Amino acid sequence: MIIAAADGSALGNPGPAGWAWYVADDCWAAGGWKHATNNQGELTAVLELFRATAHLDEELLVKCDSQYVINSVTKWMPNWKRKGWRKSDGKPVLNVELLQQIDEAIAGRRYRFEWVKGHAGHALNEAADARARAVAEAYRRGSTVPAGPGWSGACEADAAPALATAGPIGEPELHGAAELFEEEAPSPHDDRSPADATLFDFDDPASDWLAMTLELTADEHARLVERARAAGISPEEFLRGLI
């Protein structure tokens, strides 16, 4: 089994953006754009990982902190395809070109996704995140983009030890929480825990905008403010990210 992390980063979302997949320090790749969204970075990281490992027979375990990506690939995409790549409201699916390319790349492949909490010290996820962000920073500064060594002969040797160092696999988190909005959440908003995820679970985003009212207790409000402060954003922005 090959164990890898895939992550994206966008400064400003949209803004200078990067993607990266990571197996080991001598087995990783990254790239990006002058202007893109975080979700585009997350999807591209997964796409490029599948492309880089297309010649291998091993099962691929993708560790990913984006529930938008995991749900798109494992839960929503089959319905979108049947509807001509349209959502339940008839509107076109966002990032459809990337999703179609992922659909082609995973055909016939053995793979699993495992959700990991972002920015929580997970070694592989942190390594992928750091490289994706470094690309975004390079585009913002106009400096050389760190593309990485890609998949080389060293990668086959690195993939096996990764299984021993990545911790217990367990059952992968496949569906978590569905994102209400396909393009709105920067990476700090997308690393929700399964406990947060149970608040909302929709099979398919029904519209591009939905209004709702939430009532919070004093303790819940205090917890929301504390977590928003830790993420460096307003409570309103943090709440939108949870939703």
Catalytic residue among 8, 15, 118, 176: 8
Catalytic residue among 7, 114, 126, 158: 7
Instruction: Give the annotated binding-site residues.
Output: 7, 42, 65, 129
Catalytic residue among 58, 103, 119, 175: 119
Catalytic residue among 42, 48, 179, 182: 42
**Residue 119 known to be catalytic:** yes
**Residue 108 known to be catalytic:** no
Catalytic residue among 48, 114, 126, 129: 129
**Residue 237 known to be catalytic:** no
**Residue 208 known to be catalytic:** no
Give dist(CA 14, CA 139) in Å, integer: 13
Tokens of 56: 């291998």
Give dist(CA 41, CA 165) in Å, integer: 26
Phi-psi region of 130 (alpha: psi -120 to 50; beta: other; left: phi over 0): alpha
**Residue 89 known to be catalytic:** no
Instruction: Give the annotated binding-site residues for Mg(2+).
Output: 7, 42, 65, 129
**Residue 8 known to be catalytic:** yes
Give dist(CA 205, CA 65) in Å, integer: 19
Give dist(CA 199, CA 54) in Å, integer: 37
Return the residue matching tokens 């990485």.
148
Catalytic residue among 48, 65, 126, 184: 65
Query: How long, in residues, is the chain?
Result: 243
Residues assigned a catalytic role: 7-8, 42, 65, 119, 129
